[in-house]
Amino acid sequence: MTRVKRSVSARKKRRSVLEQTKGFRGEANSNYKRAKEALLKADAYAYRDRRNRKRDFRRLWITRINAAARQNGMSYSQMMHGLKLAGVELDRKVLADIAVRDAESFRRFAEVAREASAA
């Protein structure tokens, strides 16, 4: 079996890892073995937290909608149920943005939800 000389590809791989870990603390940016471990950990955190960010933002939107709905005399669940009955297809992200930026428009949505749930 022929011998494989790895010098070029191995150096390229190591250089790539060390470039990716630039800015890490301690030996995790200079020692290849430590840098590789830190990079694996960082990638795992990044993958996990891309999903957690979606969860966190949904919680924030729900909190904002609930606060604005309570200012208009209804709870979050009553508001969402009323909007669904009324056929309003705005997602939570947009509703939360309206609640923060334009209270008058949100008040109108609350009235629509109240009328739909009463009927």
Tens of pLDDT, residues 95-109: 999 999 999 999 999
pLDDT at 119 over 90: no
The answer to the question of residue 16 being in a domain is no
Number of domains in the chain: 1
Q: Is residue 8 part of a domain?
A: no
pLDDT band for position 7 (cuts 50, 70, 90): very high
- Domain presence at residue 44: yes
Burial class of residue 117 in the structure, from the number of CB atoms within 10 Å of its CB (0-12 exposed, 13-18 middle, 19+ buried): middle
Q: Is 75 helix (H, G, I), strand (E, B) or coil?
A: coil
pLDDT value, residue 1: 86
Q: Is residue 113 part of a domain?
A: yes
Q: At what angle do helices 32-71 and 103-118 cross, to 10 degrees?
A: 70
Give domain status of residue 3, yes or no. no
Q: Which helix (H) or strand (E) holds 91?
A: none
Let me know if residue 41 belongs to a domain. Answer: yes
What is the pLDDT averaged over residues 28-34? 97
Residue 17 belongs to a domain: no
Rounded-to-5 percentages of helix, strand, coil across the chain: 80, 0, 20
Q: What is the pLDDT of residue 101?
A: 97
Q: pTM for the complete prediction?
A: 0.82
CATH number at residue 106: 1.10.1900.20
Question: Is the predicted pLDDT of residue 77 greater than 90, yes or no?
Answer: yes
pLDDT at 88: 95
Q: How confident is the model at residue 39 (pLDDT cuts 50, 70, 90)?
A: very high
In which domain, by residue range, is 32 found?
25-118
In a domain, 63, yes or no: yes
